[in-house]
């Protein structure tokens, strides 16, 4: 019973902390005009202009992900400090910051959040081509994610002795030191799913479901601390979602997306469920894949597009679906694919 309290209590605390800090954070976001001051290149597409109010988007803060990771960090530290100040079996039990399970994803979240915030601030207050998120800066972001992933991969291999991954119904496959580049690839692929942050409420709902699913997966592995941390991420994301539903008070930005996607890849490896990740996080995969297919189609088919717009959620908008219908259907799909992923992981162990 105490394990369930350990998982659900931090999640609830994170949610309400996020709700409490949002008014102050929102005041700060708007006071310092923390939104992008240029239009995206995609906005020149007439199909995109039909479905989005670019002027309104340029007056909405881009750093709402701060709400998520600040509330998660605060909750984690609160429970850790309580276990130090009031030592007891209960306080020690509900503390979920542990070296073998949650220390790595905790610092991954912080590191990714800070680098993502740097990216956001560069695009808000910076000048020049980097401030316009051009291709050269996107390459630098790939290098940054690669560097973070390299450090985590080294920790997995040298400190945790992680040398193999689980194949559903097929046992373990030995990778040895190749676990390091494999983690880098998975982290980059997960980060590419960040393109889903394009409609009010879409990314928040999808990511909350995914982290909730990983709480269940970690629990089934008896990784209770990791389950509690995953549930805490879900709670923080739901607090963000409370204010991100239409009309959005702010957007997640790179400070949220970079932190959450790299942390998600870390959770997948720690729970030995990396090959289940594409199923659990199918909406992220679909969004990223739709962009790749669109680019390939234009190059290989002499400019012909596969979708009216990409990522795929904009395609459905361009077909006439209201944004709320796109968002809610993605939420539904997230829940269903998360359930399928959990079932597949449990029966294939």
Average pLDDT on 82-94 reads: 87
Residue 144: which pLDDT band, with cuts at 50, 70 and 90? confident
Largest CA distance in the chain: 68
Least confident of 38-42, 163-167, 233-237: 38-42
- 45-82 per-position pLDDT tens digit: 666 666 665 555 668 898 999 999 999 999 999 999 99
Place of tokens 């607090």: 239
Q: Which residues pair with 173 in a beta bridge?
A: 165
CA-CA distances (angstroms) from residue 56 to 35, 223, 248, 276?
Answer: 11, 44, 10, 38
For residues 4-12, average pLDDT? 93
Nearest CA-CA partner of 112 in 257, 1, 251? 257
The pLDDT of 163-190, averaged and rounded, is: 92
| Proportion of the chain above pLDDT 90, given as a percent | 64
Q: What is the mean pLDDT of the segment spanning 16-37?
A: 91
Peptide bond into 247 cis (omega under 30): yes
Q: Is the four-CA dihedral 4, 113, 285, 345 of positive or negative sign?
A: negative
Q: Please check the confidence at residue 322 and state whether its pLDDT lies above 60.
A: yes
- Give the mean model confidence (pLDDT) for residues 216-235: 96
Q: Are 169 and 343 in contact (CB under 8 A)?
A: no
Q: Give the separation between CA 333 and CA 328, rounded to whole angstroms.
A: 9
Number of H helices and E strands in the chain, helices first, is 15, 2
Alpha-carbon distance 201 to 184, whole Å?
Answer: 28
Taking 70 as the threshold, does the pLDDT of residue 183 lie above it?
yes
Most confident of 115-129, 133-147, 205-219, 301-315: 205-219
Provide mean pLDDT across the span 140-151: 89
What confidence category does residue 42 fall into, taking pLDDT thresholds of 50, 70 and 90? very low
pLDDT confidence tier of residue 240, bands split at 50, 70 and 90: very high
Task: Over range 201-206, report the average pLDDT.
Answer: 94
Mean pLDDT of the chain: 89
List residues bridging with 165 in a β-sheet.
Answer: 173
What is the pLDDT, as a whole number, of residue 142?
86
- Please give the model's pTM, rounded to 2 decimal places: 0.93
Express each pLDDT in 258-313 by its tens digit. 999 999 999 999 999 999 999 999 999 999 999 999 999 988 887 888 888 889 99
Which residues have CB under 8 Å from 262's CB, separation 6+? 108, 112, 145, 148, 149, 152, 187, 190, 191
Residues in the chain: 349
Average pLDDT over residues 141-156: 91
Average pLDDT over every residue of 9-23: 96
Residue 58 has a pLDDT of 67
Determine the pLDDT at residue 231: 97
């Amino acid at each position: 019973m105490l394990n369930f309290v350990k998982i659900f209590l931090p999640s609830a605390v994170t949610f309400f902390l996020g709700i409490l800090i949002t008014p102050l954070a929102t005041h700060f976001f708007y006071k310092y005009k923390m939104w992008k001051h240029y239009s995206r290149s995609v906005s020149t597409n007439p199909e995109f202009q039909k479905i989005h109010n670019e002027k309104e988007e340029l007056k909405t803060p881009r750093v709402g992900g701060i709400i998520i990771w600040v509330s998660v960090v605060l909750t984690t530290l609160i429970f850790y400090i309580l276990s130090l100040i009031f030592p007891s079996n209960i306080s020690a039990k509900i503390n979920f910051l542990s070296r073998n399970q949650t220390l790595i994803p905790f610092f991954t979240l912080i590191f990714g959040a800070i680098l993502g915030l740097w990216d956001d601030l560069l695009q808000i207050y910076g000048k020049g081509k980097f401030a316009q998120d051009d291709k050269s800066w996107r390459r630098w972001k790939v290098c940054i994610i690669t560097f973070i992933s390299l450090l985590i991969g080294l920790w997995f291999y040298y400190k945790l002795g992680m040398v193999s991954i689980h194949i559903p119904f097929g046992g373990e496959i030995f990778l040895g030191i190749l676990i390091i580049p494999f983690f880098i690839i998975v982290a980059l692929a997960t980060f590419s799913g960040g393109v889903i942050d394009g409609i009010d409420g879409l990314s928040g709902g999808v990511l909350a479901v995914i982290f909730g699913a990983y709480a269940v997966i970690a629990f089934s592995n008896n990784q209770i601390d990791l389950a509690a941390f995953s549930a805490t991420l879900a709670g923080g994301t739901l607090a963000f979602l409370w204010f991100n539903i239409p009309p959005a008070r702010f957007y997640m930005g790179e400070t949220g997306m970079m932190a959450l996607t790299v942390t998600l890849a870390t959770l997948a490896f720690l729970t030995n469920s990396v090959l289940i990740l594409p199923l659990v996080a199918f909406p992220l995969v679909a969004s990223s894949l739709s962009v790749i297919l669109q680019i390939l189609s234009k190059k290989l088919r002499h400019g012909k597009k596969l979708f009216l717009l990409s990522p795929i959620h904009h395609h459905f908008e361009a077909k006439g679906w209201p944004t709320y219908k796109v968002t809610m259907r993605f939420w539904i799909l997230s829940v269903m694919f998360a359930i399928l992923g959990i079932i597949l992981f449990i029966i294939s162990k």
